[in-house]
Amino acid sequence: MAFPLRRKLAFAAFTQLALFGGLEIALRAGGFHARRRPVEFVGANLGNETFPRIWDDDVFWRMQPGASVPGTKTERINDRGFRGPDIADAKPPNVRRVVCLGDSCTFGSMVEGDATFSRALERWLSAGGARAEVVNLGVPGYSAFQMWRQLVHVALPLAPDAVVVYAGAWNDFTPAVRYADPAIADRVDSAQATRAFGTLSVLRCFEACRALAAKTRPEPAPVAEAYAKGFALRGELPDGPRVPPDAFRATLAAISRDARAANAAVVFVVPPAPAATRAKFPDSETYARMVRDAARSARDRVADARATFARGGDADTTLFEDSIHPSQCGHSWIASSVATELLALGWPELRGRTTEGVAEPLPLDLSASMQLLGGKGSPERIPAHASVAAPTPATFSSDVVVVPPRSSIRVAYGWVGAKSDKPVRFRVAVEHDGATDSLFEDGLSSPADTEADIARKTIDLSAYEGRSVRFLFSATGSAAVAYWIRPKVGRFPPG
């Protein structure tokens, strides 16, 4: 009697395994992957349509390869999930490879890819005939803790000769949502979970069961948006900062230790910030000071971009695009600071080189002097990112300026109000020598309520070099408030 029972048990076990195997094959064939429930972060909306990010166990999130870079017409995230050209895994012979770790400031939010400090560094390194690659690994929203994990999992396998670290600018001292970054990492890759589910976790059936179980639990109320607002208005940190000071110091030390162990030199950038940001958020100075101290303690190179920007005087409107992100000119100043520290490393190909010409001259900020020449008066609604705004029709003028050599005028513009069948038309003209030349005209059919929606244009001014000119900015249309954002004259690539 025992033999038939064993046969029945064996048959039952075989049937269960066959069903399980069939389900596993079907799930894999169908490309099933359970998406992790994303952790909430202030300033990092996973799955954001304008800038898709995908979950990553090692670094929490990474950018979606092939996604469009906001504010650019044709630029896309490369196959590795970063900004800039693709590179080979193996470093080519006789090539200096520098990797830049950082957040949206390193990534280059609000500037063109060629204007980022990483690309400026690559041009400078290559100018003397040397072969160089500078890899921009900056990811919007990254903290120093994520940069360390990115260094280990992404940067060091690329065999860099130097690692540039841009940490402490903003994300590290913004609010944590329930857990600080190190605690999230512990939850993601805890040793207990690895021991218990190390084998099961590779199975799609296990993923499906885990996803089903997750659906039975109530979703936590989204609080990141409320935390962000409380921080911006009152500096509130209900759950503390994303990377507390002690963890920040330890993380910088770990970056230095691991990079040096891989024979890579380390250059820490002390991140700059506008005066208003430094005054409103004292932690900006605290974290910048910790970057200086950590670099000096480890005897790493320090590119003190904060001190460099301070020597520019009252230039916040030209060195920054907003409350934290450097402008094109700001990126060139950062590149010059980093280049100075690379020279100190004694690389043979840099002997006799200088950093002359890396930092661009400050552009002319026209917004401070713009005056309303005509219009209906003060607008009821002014977008937060606007420099000047007025109901249409309206015309603003700048002061008279002398056009510098090799310069262009960069303008950003948009409108808010009820959508109309007729577009709001924007025009930029230049007055000179008793004449008025139209530089460009554009019609916008849809309102631009956020910075992601605004239009941008850069116009070459080579025909007006050395002349005294006045710029006119006009907008015509109905039921709209038109605005312009910090028009500048500087060394911008036309487009």
Domain boundaries, the chain: 53-350, 364-490
Nearest partner of 473 among 399, 394, 403, 406, judged by Cα: 394
- Residue 65, pLDDT > 60, answer yes
493/495 Cα distance (integer angstroms): 6
Q: What is the pLDDT at residue 367?
A: 81
- Residue 12, pLDDT > 70, answer no
Neighbours of 14 (CB within 10 A): 10
Phi first, then psi: what are they for 282, rounded to 5°?
A: -60, -25
Residues 109-158 pLDDT 10s: 988 899 999 999 999 999 877 899 999 999 999 999 999 999 999 999 99
CB 173 within 8 A of CB 242: yes
Residues 317-342 pLDDT 10s: 889 988 999 999 999 999 999 999 99
34-38, 173-177, 356-360: range with lowest mean pLDDT: 34-38
- Residue 289, pLDDT > 90, answer yes
CA dihedral (154, 155, 158, 159) in degrees, to 10, reads -140
Q: What is the pLDDT at residue 222?
A: 63
* Amino acid at position 388, single letter: V
Q: What is the pLDDT at residue 218?
A: 43
Residues 14-28 pLDDT 10s: 666 667 666 666 656
Q: What is the pLDDT at residue 216?
A: 45
Q: Which residues pair with 469 in a beta bridge?
A: 401
Q: What is the pLDDT at residue 220?
A: 47
Q: What is the pLDDT at residue 130?
A: 83
Contacts of 151 (CB under 8 A, 6+ apart): 101, 163, 255, 258, 259
- Alpha carbon 283 to chain centroid, angstroms: 20
With vertex at residue 280, the alpha carbon angle to CA 278 and CA 286, rounded to the nearest 5 degrees, is 50
Query: Tokens 């979703």 belong to which residue?
Result: 219
CA dihedral (440, 444, 450, 453) in degrees, to 10, reads -80
Determine the average pLDDT of the residues in 271-288: 96
Q: What is the pLDDT at residue 322?
A: 86
266/123 Cα distance (integer angstroms): 20
Burial of 61 by CB count in 10 Å (0-12 exposed, 13-18 middle, 19+ buried)? buried
Over the chain, what is the mean pLDDT? 84
The answer to whether the Cα torsion of 410, 415, 421, 422 is positive or negative is negative
Q: Categorize the per-residue pLDDT at 368 as very low, low, confident or very high, splitting at 50, 70 and 90.
A: confident
Determine the average pLDDT of the residues in 302-319: 90
180-189, 261-270, 329-338, 429-438: range with lowest mean pLDDT: 180-189
Pairing outcome for strands 265-269 and 162-166 = parallel
In 120-190, beta strands by DSSP E: 132-136, 162-166
Q: What is the pLDDT at residue 442?
A: 92
Q: Categorize the per-residue pLDDT at 95 as very low, low, confident or very high, splitting at 50, 70 and 90.
A: very high
- Residue 382, pLDDT > 80, answer no
CB 458 within 8 A of CB 327: no
Pairing outcome for strands 371-374 and 468-476 = unpaired
Between 417 and 237, where is the model more confident?
237
Phi first, then psi: what are they for 360, rounded to 5°?
A: -75, 155
Q: What is the pLDDT at residue 214?
A: 45
CB 469 within 8 A of CB 366: no
Give the orientation angle of helix 204-215 with respect to helix 2-29, to 10 degrees.
80
Q: What is the pLDDT at residue 196?
A: 47
Determine the average pLDDT of the residues in 33-38: 50
Q: Which two tokens stand for residue 125?
A: 């390194």
In 159-263, beta strands by DSSP E: 162-166
DSSP H/E element including 459: strand 455-460
Nearest partner of 82 among 97, 58, 102, judged by Cα: 102
Q: Categorize the per-residue pLDDT at 445 as very low, low, confident or very high, splitting at 50, 70 and 90.
A: confident
415/135 Cα distance (integer angstroms): 37
CB 394 within 8 A of CB 375: yes
Q: What is the pLDDT at residue 70?
A: 81
- Residue 191, pLDDT > 50, answer no
DSSP 13-75: HHHHHHHHHHHHHHHHHTT--PPPPPPP-TT--TT-TTS-EEEETTTEEEEPTTPBPTT-SS-
Question: Peptide bond preceding 391: is omega within 30 degrees of 0, i.e. cis?
Answer: no
Q: Categorize the per-residue pLDDT at 3 as very low, low, confident or very high, splitting at 50, 70 and 90.
A: low
CA distances from 167 to 17, 261, 311, 415, 442 (A): 51, 20, 21, 35, 39
How much of the chain exceeds pLDDT 90, in percent?
Answer: 54
The answer to whether the Cα torsion of 63, 75, 49, 383 is positive or negative is positive
CB 401 within 8 A of CB 432: no
* Amino acid at position 174, single letter: T
Q: Categorize the per-residue pLDDT at 178 as very low, low, confident or very high, splitting at 50, 70 and 90.
A: confident
Q: Categorize the per-residue pLDDT at 262 as very low, low, confident or very high, splitting at 50, 70 and 90.
A: very high
186/60 Cα distance (integer angstroms): 12
Q: What is the pLDDT at residue 195?
A: 41
460/477 Cα distance (integer angstroms): 27
Please identify, in words, the CATH class of the domain defined by 53-350: alpha beta
- Residue 197, pLDDT > 60, answer no
Residues 385-439 pLDDT 10s: 677 888 888 899 999 999 999 899 999 898 887 776 788 999 999 999 999 999 9
Q: What is the pLDDT at residue 93?
A: 92
Determine the average pLDDT of the residues in 59-79: 88
CB 288 within 8 A of CB 306: yes
Topology, domain 364-490: Jelly Rolls (2.60.120)
Terminus-to-terminus CA distance in the chain, angstroms? 86
Neighbours of 405 (CB within 10 A): 10
CB 200 within 8 A of CB 24: no
163/345 Cα distance (integer angstroms): 12
Q: Categorize the per-residue pLDDT at 465 as very low, low, confident or very high, splitting at 50, 70 and 90.
A: very high
